[in-house]
Amino acid sequence: MMSNDQRARPSYRAFQLAAEMMVNIESASREVRGEDAVITTLNRADGARIIVAWTKTGAGAGNLEIEARYPAALLFDWTGESRVIRGDANGNYILNLPVAPGRNLAGDDRYSVGGPTFMIMEFDNEAPSSAIQMEALPGGRSIVLSWEANDGALGTGAESYEIQVSRDNGPWEALDPELIDGTEAIVDISSGGAFAFRVRATDFAGNQGGYSIPVSTQYTPSGFLAIQVLDIRNQPVPFARLTLADGSLHDADEEGWIRIQHTEGTVQLINLDGSLHGQRALDASYSIARDQQTVDRFMLLPLENLINNGAFSDGLNGWNTSPDGSLVLIDHRIERGVAARLTGVRRPWGYPYLSVQQDIPTHYNSAILSFEYHLPAPESNAIGQWFQVRAITPAGQTTLFQTQEPTDSFTRHWVDLSSLAGQPVQFIFEIVGPRGAAPISVEIDTVILGNVPILD
């Protein structure tokens, strides 16, 4: 059974298979069909039936019929390979036996070696066990199910599977067969809820197994809210913390983005904390829709604003104004509250202004002036006035900002004042221009003087 180079010959596997299967034999019988086929039947003590068949001539036995006692059995060929064989409509196994390959030359009508053998093993009296696995696809809105069965070493294997689903702990129902592809299925769970899945198998012999241990998952329909946190230098604030009305905390990434996945409904924001870069109390609500993303940005306010009435909520208290009546307070109501409006005049040619005096503390080594302005487009194309901001100190004066460019809405601008730390400064917001220039108007709001570090 072994070659000289220690390789197993086919007879080795045949003997191994016979030794494994042909044990505890209680009875045996032998049948010769006509002149060609030999059929040996062995009955084991455990109820298994083993049928071995081969031809003994070169004519062949054609399609040999053998009575089937099981719906299916294992058919082993002479190499030891097996496959499932099933009974036909008449309850018979059909074997097409190869002819005998060796003829006895001394007698032309006889063969010294029979044809290759087939062995039928009828012993599948146990149901298969099943298992099911689940894997979430990216995004979590769909899952992939896969399943398998174990019918034992001598089982005929799974012929069919039954996959069931239970939703929100409800009754078990058959999974839509259109989702099934072989032993896999892709299931959409984006409608939301708790899902459980189980499977059972039926083998070719008709044995039906029990249901597997279920696998479960859940999906809550949700949308996304993305908030970028900026300070008044317009720097993204890394690791700022957002507090929601439900008490949950959400931290920004290194680019200042806070990304929140939330169930459908309303999200209420109540506070932003950026440490040295500022804080901000919020009263903002967002409606979260399924699979939609809402994006917004918030600017932190410095921990201390040296301009006490920078939003003009207390009228012009703390501010100095030009005496020509060119400044009024505009109530924007719900949109943004009160803002100050400067309007240029043709005669007399003066500089309409709004100013405030403030000492910048010595420790304000990252001092910054930040303000919002709205500069509507002029009514004509004539040479117009412009809006500027100046700083006057004991050492002189500096123009911090100057523009003629119109803006569609309020625009924030900031100026680094770290070089002015420790000095008294008068800040002047004004409209200037050459003689005869077309007058303009500008609205000013939310003036802030704070100490905000520069991020590396």
One pLDDT digit (tens) per residue for the chain, 456 residues: 788 888 877 778 778 888 888 999 999 999 998 878 899 999 999 889 999 998 888 777 778 899 999 889 999 988 888 899 999 999 999 998 888 876 666 655 667 778 888 999 998 888 999 999 999 999 788 999 999 999 988 889 999 999 999 999 999 999 999 999 999 999 999 888 999 999 999 999 999 999 999 999 999 888 999 999 999 999 999 999 999 999 999 999 999 999 998 888 899 999 999 999 999 999 999 999 988 899 999 999 999 999 999 999 898 899 998 876 667 777 765 456 788 988 887 555 467 899 999 999 999 999 999 999 999 988 777 678 899 999 999 999 999 999 999 999 999 999 999 999 999 999 999 998 887 788 888 999 999 999 999 987
pLDDT at 13: 77
- Give span(s): CATH 2.60.40.1180, the chain: 10-122
Q: Cα–Cα distances in Å, from 166 out to 133, 142, 194, 304? A: 15, 16, 8, 57
Domain 320-451 has CATH 3.30.465.10: no
Spatial contact of 358 and 393, defined as CB atoms under 8 Å apart: no
Q: Which of 256, 191, 264 is nearest to 224 (CA)?
A: 264
Which residue type occupies 359?
D
Fold of 222-299: Immunoglobulin-like (2.60.40)
CATH number for the segment(s) 10-122: 2.60.40.1180
Spatial contact of 149 and 158, defined as CB atoms under 8 Å apart: yes
Spatial contact of 150 and 128, defined as CB atoms under 8 Å apart: yes
- Give span(s): CATH 2.60.40.10, the chain: 129-219
Measure the CA dihedral 40/158/151/118, to 10°: 20
Residues in contact with 247: Cβ distance below 8 Å, sequence separation at least 6, in sequence order: none
In this structure, the number of other CB atoms found within 10 A of the CB of residue 325 comes to: 10
The CATH superfamily assigned to 129-219 is Immunoglobulins (2.60.40.10)
- Give span(s): CATH 2.60.120.200, the chain: 320-451
Q: How many residues does the chain have?
A: 456
pTM above 0.75, yes or no: no
DSSP 454: P
SS3 category, 358 = strand
Cα(202)–Cα(130) distance, integer angstroms: 10
C-alpha gyration radius of the chain: 45
